[in-house]
Structures are given as structure tokens and as C-alpha cells.
Amino acid sequence: MEFTAAQIAGLLNGEVIGNPDASVSALAKIEEGQAGALSFLSNPKYEPFIYTTGSSICIVNQTFEPSKALPSTLTLIKVADAYACFAQLLALYDSMNKKEAIIEQPSFIHETAQIGENVYIGAFAYIGANVKIADNCQIHPHVVIQDNASVAEHSIIYPSVNIYKDCQIGARCIIHAGTVIGSDGFGFAPDENGVYSKIPQIGNVVIEDDVEIGSNCSIDRATMGSTFIRKGVKIDNLCQIAHNVDVDQHTAMAAQVGIAGSAKIGKHVMIGGQTGIAGHLSIADHTKIVAQSGIPSTVKKADTLMGTPAIPINDYKRSHFGFRKLPGLINKIYDLENQLKELLKNKEA
């Protein structure tokens, strides 16, 4: 579909600078722009590209003033926040590519499953007994949803996701390919001979509304009760969340984060990639954790933490500066020891 600059400005409450009839039918990065493409500029680092871009329309901040001549083929749309407005357009573009409501074959849907209206179910999907799938959901090919699980309205489950029995997925959630929801928690009890016996994991996973989970994540079911992923949480690819963890609202974690069992993560926490969090602890709301950190104990007060074990970032920087000086300090100690030995030797002589 094509949109004119005037139409886009109307959607974004923006101001057209240039040709209001300029039209676009594609999206492109500003450095890769071509005729008929829409781009945006928010980071000053990319400003040089706006003077050479081939895009037909570019969304910019109201404060943007060109320092030299722009391409004659370029029309600007000035808005309050170029990045947010472009994200809004991306969401609109994505919604236009929604899958058609259809149940593809072959697929298996148990006779007791409840399927809402305007639902897409891809080929080779498996929908078990008493499953509930609400209106406007997309269940892509090779998804498995086991007995008694539920998916609320407008959620998207991408290919090869496995949702185990009794698990609950909220509204407007997005779960990317290969993720497993509700696999057994890592629960084993050793006997007197050190032989491990499996502890049955009879709980479930509850994912609340507006959660997005990346590809190839694993979220374990609770031993008893529920593992909770609360409203608005964002989880990157390749994360592991163990049994009985509770991740509170609007927390975000980058790839390869691992959270051990029964940890309680607060609201609006930001967790960098490859961070490891021990079990049976809690992390205060609004805490920020730098990538590759290790959290071995409870964080009672919001701070920015770094290192293993993680400490406040400014303390870590000072410690790291001291650590880098250690080789020189060690050499100085050796020199002092040798000088002391020489003094003692001369004194005894």
C-alpha cells in the first residue's frame, strides 16, 4: 500500500516540510534509503545520511534543522519524537501483515478445545484437550499447546513453540520460535547414596498480558503453584527462567540471562545479557544489572550493579582500576622485599 506525506503526518500529528503528495510504499534505514521509501532520523550520529539518502520521506524531530542542502526529492515530516513515531508506524505496518483467519491442514484440534473468532492456526499445530484460544490469536505452524492451557486474545505464538499443560498465556503476548513454556523445573532430591530422584513438578507457568518472549527461551513450570511472568515483561532470546521464579511488571532482560529457582525479580528491573541470578533471593524494583554480572544474594535497594559478585557500578570501576594496577604493585612489593633483604644483610655485616 502507498501512503502520502500528508496522510502520514496526519497519523503522527506531524508537520510536512516539502511535498505533501510525496508517496511511499516501503520502509528503509536512512543510510539505505531509495525512492518510495520512508525513513527516520533521531540519533544525531546518523545525520550525515540525510543529506545523501534516496528515501522519499524522512521523519525527523521538530528540533531538526539541516546544516546543508537536503536532496530535492526528500520530504520531511517533523514530529515531537521521531523514534517513537517511527515505531508507531512499524506497529501499524506489522498489523497490516496479520495472518488471515484460517485453520490450515493438517493440524490437530481436540474436540474439547475452545477456539475463538478470527483465529489463525497454522499447519501441523497441535491443540490439546480443553485448551482455550481466545479471539484474534495467531498460532503458527508446528506449535504444540497441551491440555488445559490457555491463550488470551490477540496473542501471537510463532512456529515450534511448546506450551505445556495447564499453562496460561495472557492477552497481546508474543512468543517467538522455539521457546518452551512449562517444561519441568530442575527438581531432584539425592538419597543417602547420592542418587537423584525426580521431584514431580505439578505447578504451571502464568504469563500475564503484553509480555514478549524471544526465541529459544525456557520457562520452567513451578514445583507447586506458579512461575510468574508479570504484565509487560520483555525477555530476549536464549533466556532460562527456573521454577517458581516471579518476574514482576515491566522488567526487561537481554539474551542468555539465567534466573535460578524461586528468585523474585522486582518491577522495572533491567538485566543485561549473560547475567546469572541465584535462587531464593529478591531484587529491588528499578535495579539495573550490567551484562555478565552475577547476583548471589538479595538486592534490597535499587542500584546499578556490575561484576561477579555484583557490586555498585562505581565501586566496580574503582576496583577494576585497582585490579589493573596489581601487576605493577606486585613488582614494587618484590623490589621492596629485595631492598629490605639487602638492608638486613648489610646490617648483620
What average pLDDT score do residues 81-94 get?
A: 89
**Rg of the chain's alpha carbons, rounded to an integer?**
28
Q: In what order do the strands lie in the sheet with 75-79?
A: 15-17, 75-79, 57-61, 37-41, 26-27
Answer with the residue of higher pLDDT: 132 or 93: 132
For domain 3-96, say whether CATH 3.40.1390.10 is its number: yes
pLDDT in tens, 278-301: 999 999 999 999 999 999 999 999
Across 94-98, 145-149, 228-232, 319-323, least confident range: 94-98
Nearest to 282 by CA among 301, 305, 308, 303: 301
Collapsed DSSP state (helix, strand, coil) of residue 244: coil
Collapsed DSSP state (helix, strand, coil) of residue 33: coil
* Residues taking part in catalysis: 243
328 has a pLDDT exceeding 90: no
Pick the CATH number of 108-314 from 1.10.150.80, 3.30.2130.30, 2.160.10.10, 3.20.20.210: 2.160.10.10
Q: Quick one: CA dihedral 151, 99, 92, 39, positive or negative?
A: positive
H or E segment and range at residue 213: strand 212-213
Determine the pLDDT at residue 108.
98
97 has a pLDDT exceeding 80: no
Mean of all residue pLDDT scores within the chain? 95
8 Å CB contact between 41 and 28:
no
- Kindly list the domain boundaries of the chain, sorted by start residue: 3-96, 108-314, 317-348
pLDDT in tens, 297-314: 999 999 999 999 999 999
Strand 234-235 with 196-198, pairing = unpaired
pLDDT in tens, 26-69: 999 999 999 999 999 999 999 999 999 999 999 999 999 999 99
pLDDT in tens, 156-168: 999 999 999 999 9
1 has a pLDDT exceeding 80: no
123 confidence band (pLDDT: 50, 70, 90): very high
Determine the pLDDT at residue 345.
81
Determine the pLDDT at residue 318.
87
Q: In what order do the strands lie in the sheet with 138-139?
A: 120-121, 138-139, 156-157, 174-175, 212-213, 234-235, 252-253, 270-271, 288-289, 304-306, 311-312
8 Å CB contact between 187 and 198:
yes
What average pLDDT score do residues 265-270 get?
A: 98
Report the distance separating Cα 219 and Cα 298, nearest Å: 21
Q: What backbone phi and psi angles, to 5 degrees, belong to 183? A: -65, 160
CA distances from 215 to 131, 176, 177, 207 (A): 23, 5, 5, 16
From the CB of residue 32, how many other CB atoms can be counted at a distance below 10 Å? 12
96 has a pLDDT exceeding 80: no
Percent of the chain with pLDDT over 70: 100
8 Å CB contact between 17 and 75:
yes
91 has a pLDDT exceeding 90: no
CA angle 101, 102, 107 (to 5 degrees): 140
349 confidence band (pLDDT: 50, 70, 90): low
8 Å CB contact between 140 and 122:
yes
Three cell numbers, residue 41: 532520523
Check for a shared fold between 3-96 and 108-314: no
